[in-house]
Amino acid sequence: MLDRPAAVDTYEHSAAQDVFVHTRDRTCRFPGCGQRVGWADADHVIPHAHGGPTDCANLCCLCRSHHRLQTSAPDWRFEMSADGVLTVTTPSGTTRTTRPPGVRPPPPPESLPSLDGGPPSDRAEDAPPY
């Protein structure tokens, strides 16, 4: 299980949250969309102005179109659980759920080994001894 970065008090999410949410979601989380998203598209599921926390349990990746839908179409309901399962309810009451791909994120940058030696498979100490 991923370590979720701490919530922050500001509207802007932290860099750690940005990495976490993009690693968790990878694409637009709107059901059936799957469009790749840029690094600026981690959005509040419950708007910050409406009391939604800046927490990974309230942030998800949406493409521009679905971000616009999410923020400007009040008849659509977006809800997300702590483990990133997003439930979207349409104006007619149809519910769709999407789950994050569940891929482990890379370790945080500060704990990565130096890349100066090239890919690990090219390094002498990784070669079989015989």
Residues 57 and 9: their CA atoms lie apart, in Å, by 14
| Residue closer to Zn ion (CB basis): 65 or 95 | 65
Minimum CB separation of residue 112 from Zn ion in Å reads 31
| Residue closer to Zn ion (CB basis): 95 or 120 | 95
| Residue closer to Zn ion (CB basis): 56 or 60 | 60
| Dihedral sign (CA 59, 60, 64, 66) | negative
Minimum CB separation of residue 118 from Zn ion in Å reads 37
Give the helix/strand (H/E) hosting 44.
strand 42-44
Single out the residue of 5, 34, 10, 33 nearest to residue 21, CA to CA.
Answer: 5
Q: Identify the burial level of 17 via C-beta atoms within 10 angstroms of its C-beta, where 0-12 means exposed, 13-18 middle and 19 or more buried.
A: buried
Minimum CB separation of residue 65 from Zn ion in Å reads 6
| Dihedral sign (CA 36, 1, 7, 32) | positive
Residues that bind Zn ion (CB under 5 A): 28, 30, 33, 35, 63, 66
| Residue closer to Zn ion (CB basis): 37 or 56 | 37
Minimum CB separation of residue 29 from Zn ion in Å reads 8
